[in-house]
Amino acid sequence: MYPTAPPMPLRPIRTLGTAAVVMLAADSLVSVLSSAVDVQRALLIDRFLTEPASVSQADGDASDTLYALSGLVETVVYVATAVVFLIWLFRARTNAETLSPWPHRRARPWLIFGWGFPILCWWYPKQIVDDIWTASKPGAVEETGNLASARRSGLVWAWWLTWLVSMWVAKGAGRRYLNAEELPEMREAALFDIAVNAAYVVTAALAVAVVLSITRFQEERRTAPAPMPSVVQDPAV
C-alpha cells in the first residue's frame, strides 16, 4: 500500500497581491494629479489666447516644467506598476498551473511578451488571465472540460475592454501631443490627456478587482485543509 504523490503546494500570493493593488492605486493617484496639471496648462493657454499680457514668461516656463515633470512621474510609476503586476501575475500563474488538471493555453513567456507583441497583444493577455481565473476559482474547473471552453468572468471582460480603450485613447493623445505646434493644439492635447487619465483610472480600478479576486481564490484554497491522500493498492502485494 502506498499513497499517491501529493500535488505541488500553492505558494503564498497575498503579499504580492497587496503590492500590486498599492501600485495600481498609486498609478491612479498620479493620473489624477496629472489631470490637474493638464487643467492648469489648458487654463493658462486660454488666458494667454484671451489676454497675452496676463501671462508672464515665468508662468509659461513654470507650466512647461510642471507638465514635463508630471509626464516623467507618470512614466516612472506606470513602469513600476507594470513590473509589480507582472510579478504577481507570474505567481498567480504558477499556482494556477498546480490547480488546473489541464495545461494553460499560453506558455509562460507570453506573460511578458503577450502585452507588446503586435496583433497578439489584443487577446493573449486576456486568455492568460482567463485561464488563471478559471483554474483559481473554486468549482470553475469542475464545470468545464478544458480551460479554452470555460465560462468567462464578466469582471475580466470589463477590465480587458477598458484596457483596450485606454490604450487606444493613449495612442490618440500621443499623436496629438507630438503634432501640437500651436497653442490651441497644445490646449487640445492637454485636455485629451485628461481623457487618457480617466480611462487609466477606470482600468486600474477593475485591475484591482481582478487581482483581489484571484488572490482571494488562491489564498482560500492554499489555506484550506488538505484532503486525505488517496491510497493505491500495490499490484505486487
Residue 7 identity (one-letter amino acid): P
Find, among 32, 21, 70, 29, the residue nearest to 196 by Cα. 32
For the chain, the first-to-last Cα distance in angstroms comes to 8
C-alpha count within 13 angstroms, C-beta hemisphere, residue 2? 6
206, 208, 209, 214 alpha-carbon torsion, rounded to 10°: 130
More confident residue, 146 or 3: 146
Q: Tens digit of pLDDT for each residue in 100-140?
A: 888 999 999 999 999 989 899 999 999 999 999 999 998 88
Closest CA to 163 of 194, 108, 208, 133: 208
Amino acid at 91: R
User: For 41-69, what is each residue's pLDDT tens digit?
Assistant: 888 888 888 888 887 888 888 888 998 89
Q: Tell me the Ramachandran region of residue 201: left when phi exceeds 0, alpha when psi lies from -120 to 50, beta otherwise.
A: alpha
Q: Which residues contact 160 (CB under 8 A, 6 or more apart)?
A: 125, 126, 129
In this predicted structure, the answer to whether residue 198 has a pLDDT above a threshold of 60 is: yes
Do the Cβ atoms of 230 and 3 come closer than 8 Å? yes
Distances (CA, A) of 165 to 128, 196, 200: 19, 9, 9
Report the C-alpha gap between 135 and 119 in whole angstroms: 26
What is the model's pTM? Answer: 0.85
